[in-house]
Chain A
Amino acid sequence: MEKTKGSWKSKLAQIYGKAGVLVILLIMCIILSIATDTFLSPRNLINVVRQIAFWAMIGLGAMCVIITTGIDLSPGSVAGVAGLLVAGAAQNPDTPLVVMFLIAICVGVIFGAINGSLVAFGGIPPFIATLGTQITGRGIALLISNGRPVNGLSDKFVFLGAGSLGPVPMPIIFLAILSLITWYMLKYTKTGRHIFALGGNEQAAIVSGVKTKFVKLFVYIFASVLAAISGLVLTARVASGQPSLGDGYELQAIAGAVIGGTSLSGGAGTVYGVICGTLVIGVLNNGMDLLNVNGYWQKVAQGVIIIVAVLLDVLRKKTSK
């Protein structure tokens, strides 16, 4: 048990489990810096990181949910609803920023509480429950905007997404703050440790006095709040409330989390992994753009990467048994 026999498959999985994503990321960067002369330019790099910041913010929440063996398909829609409501408030130049954040957080808590209750108390499989809120949420976004963008947002609000502190764009700063909060929550709070316990062995967690239903409720709320904040920053970045904002982001986020080593069978996941994982997707997209790869092939490549990452996760589980 302590040493696993070395078939090449298990070795591959072990190596990937330890350093994996970072190595893949570095290899991709090296190849691209040789193949193109634009990849390493500061402007391009900052672009890549800013682009993945939104996925990664959602990915942090997706990771927490996946650690408990759940899944959340709704964050894209939550980001959309939150973005629109915040945009509505931001049309008035006198609305303080705090109010906008409160609106976003409220949207997150409401959606998260619905998801969490359906899963923890209603006993609905997370995939179905959150698919339902995803579709409902998108419908609500279209209803409140009547399908039209919300424009004329105040400058101080737009700064939250489009501005930068020194050379660092605001979305990256938000990602850094949310990453720190998530890391701390997982490592230094009881709820955080119980998230891992729940994913590791739910039955044992119950016997040990862990309030598993509360923990489930919490992760869905946490994930939705992160999604809502991501929606706020993204709305500021594009300086307009868009009803289709965040569409499909949940898939990039989940893919990033899984590529970064979050185990779909629960119990394992890191903040560092989520960031590296979403970077892999970002660099891949960017590299293929720079190399003028046909956009249809880009989709194919993304799909393959996700499958390979999950396959490695499955192999890792098998060999550690």
Chain B
Amino acid sequence: MDKSKVLLRMEHISKVFPGVVALDDVELTIHPGTTLALMGENGAGKSTLMKILVGLYQRTSGSIVFDGKELDTSSITKVIQQGISMIYQELNPISNMTVAENIYIGREPYRIKGIMLDRKKIVQDTKALFGQLGIEGIDPRAEVGTLSVAKMQMIEIAKAVSYHSKLIIMDEPTSAITEKECQQLFRIVRQLKAEGVAFIFITHKMDEVFQISDEIAILRDGRYIGTWDADNLTQDELVKNMVGREITDMFPKEPAEIGDVKLRVSNLSVKGLLHDINFEVRRGEILGFAGLMGAGRTEVMETLFGIRKADTGEIQIDGKTVKIHTPEQAISHKIAFLTEDRRGNGCFLNLSVQDNIMVVNWDMMKNTMKQIDYGKVKQTCDEQIEKFNVKTPGAQQIIGNLSGGNQQKALIARWLYSDPEIIIVDEPTRGIDVGSKSEIHRMLSRLAGQGRAIIMISSEMPEVLGMSDRVVVMHEGTITGILNREDATQDVVMRYAAGLENQFR
């Protein structure tokens, strides 16, 4: 590795979103012909930093020097032309066009300028490109939509190479491909490295990090922690540096009497997503779900709630086996699910607070004539708004005009009116101001105290550790550990989340 040359130098990068500092004075250096793994917990700022680099976000402050020049990040196209390509986790090929067309889109060569495209040339160029990279078994004339994810990824790499990229960024490149395909990917990466191309990998897989990378840079909470030679860093040190913060006393769970088992999930599997999920939650208990992005936590809850179809598995409530195939059935079993994506599938943003609260409760608003009783609706809404401290001018206010924290409280008001006994909350405090956050924590605590069973997914380590009686840790669709409150420290949880340890293997 030649450390005397610098390909990319990002300095003093900051990014402020309204109300949140996503990146605070971050730096990053990469040398030609090397691979750097960018590591950090969920929300550490890895994606934000890369999106700033490729021109998807504009930085608030800081400088980027690439290949000896100030990098123009005013548009994605310009960044690509200067020699930086990014391969996104969610690949975006144009599936109705051929492989060759996908690679050369936006710069198609003409046979007769302006009049006739040269369709043969792009096929030949693609063949030459594949030959150079040693990619076999992809027909340049095949429609991209018919190919596997791994092949689409190869095409994206070939596209990056055809732009003469000096730096290729890959976001979770191995999350959707097989081990064999992964090795083929690494072979191409090594070949390109030898030609002087540098790579940045964003990944959660520890073993791969040490297999492929020369250097490891770590971000935590939007701050730059440091860069190490991969050879000089142990897995333990890596984990410590990723986590490394003190637990504050911000998340008190009030003691509650833990009762009988309320919900038991056994052998739950969804092909390709979840494997043999077993857990139980008791009355009065808050069961935390920790894990890295994509570990399958939300999918477990969606399956439990009847949004996804389970291939195998059994659900017992109060010791009785129940069948849940639709959210409607889940609700009738007194389960409530506060979804992760508040704006996407929680709120009806253009409807009023009243409509948002009532959407699952209309049945209870009917009078003896089976008509909706608006007197009762108004009274109920006002009560719920008061009870859950939703700050709104009134029940008729459009919910989209409220702050994130108040939207979330309105959603809790929605789900709690029907008096659920099992409450699932998915990232309940993401993107919410500190005040509302502790209010929601107190609410969850109180609900547990009333003898309800609570399942809380959270990617914020202090929140999980502070609130939960027990912590379930997931890794790639399986449960790797179930920890008691006393045993759950950040380091331990992180080791299970990264798949370094597994109680069940």
Contacts and interface: CB of A to CB of B under 8 A. Distances in A.
B115 A200 contact: no
Interface string B87-103: 00000111111000100
B97 A197 contact: yes
A268 B93 CA distance: 15
B95 A200 contact: yes
Contacts of B146: 1-2
Interface string B131-152: 0000000000000011110000
A198 to B, nearest CB: 9
A204 B106 contact: no
Contacts of A197: 94, 97, 101, 105
A207 interface: yes
Interface string B146-164: 1110000000000000000
Contacts of B93: 201, 204
B373 interface: no
Contacts of A207: 76-77, 92
Interface string A1-14: 11000000000000
Contact of A201 (B80, B95, B107, B116): B95
A210 B80 CA distance: 14
Given A1-B148, A2-B146, A207-B76, A201 B117 contact: no
A213 interface: no
A181 to B, nearest CB: 12
B207 interface: no
A204 B145 contact: no
- Which of B94, B96, B97 has the most A CB atoms < 10 Å from its CB? B94
Contacts of A210: 105-106
B366 interface: no
A281 B147 CA distance: 36
Name the prevailing secondary structure of the B interface residues: loop
Given A1-B146, A205-B105, A209-B106, A188 B117 contact: yes
Interface string A249-265: 00000000000000000
A192 to B, nearest CB: 8
A205 B95 CA distance: 11
A199 interface: yes
A191 to B, nearest CB: 10
Nearest to B110: A190
B94 A204 contact: yes
Contact of A209 (B94, B107, B110, B119): B107
Nearest to A2: B146
B108 interface: yes
A200 B92 contact: no
Contact of B106 (A196, A208, A267): A208
